[in-house]
Chain A
Amino acid sequence: GIQVEQSPPDLILQEGANSTLRCNFSDSVNNLQWFHQNPWGQLINLFYIPSGTKQNGRLSATTVATERYSLLYISSSQTTDSGVYFCAVEQETSYDKVIFGPGTSLSVIP
């Protein structure tokens, strides 16, 4: 099956700093999504981004499907950005089965 890797596994930022999270996948995908899981366990969909670039406030994401990677940018980080960031993909040959990466754990300190 498809392999999904995320880097870095852990990240500590000072409030106000910027960061880039990376997601690599081993096979062609139909789509890619980024999620944020807050400390209470709630998973929030940040981006549905099979290709191209999208922006939502301080967050933006870019997926280069032909090179099998996606990047999530967080600018001017806030303590509320803390949590775990997951990318998730649906393999081109396995519809309706969404595979999650291991996540990047982010801590933003004041």
Chain B
Amino acid sequence: KAGVTQTPRYLIKTRGQQVTLSCSPISGHRSVSWYQQTPGQGLQFLFEYFSETQRNKGNFPGRFSGRQFSNSRSEMNVSTLELGDSALYLCASSISGGRRSPLHFGNGTRLTVT
């Protein structure tokens, strides 16, 4: 069974631009969640989707958004990039969400904003 796939692996963007990251969950998993990892703040929860609905979100500005498609694939978008958005963005999938099933992570997308 294929794992969680995130694309692209690396991205370099300029301040003010926008970026879209993609995540394909494990087959049969309907929950996808996103996390930002930085040396200073650690792993922080961005949002979680289940059956195309956002069920919870973290404390991030509205520049961070996401969506989930009917095939459970998910995308997250960051608009008007800032230097502080440089981070490793991790996506995780689970059968039904963290409350009942373990999370499985992809290898992440490393975003550098210059």
Contacts and interface: CB of A to CB of B under 8 A. Distances in A.
A binds B: yes
Nearest to B90: A43
A94 interface: yes
Interface residues of A, number: 23
A52 interface: no
Nearest to A44: B105
Given A31-B98, A100-B42, A95 B56 contact: yes
Q: How big is the B interface, by class? A: 20 to 34
A96 B99 contact: yes
A102 B44 CA distance: 10
Nearest to B59: A1
Interface in A75-110: 86, 88, 90, 94-103
A41 B35 CA distance: 13
Interface of B: 31, 33, 35, 42-45, 48, 50, 55-58, 88, 90, 92, 97-105, 107-108, 110
Interface of A: 30-31, 33, 35, 41-45, 48, 86, 88, 90, 94-103
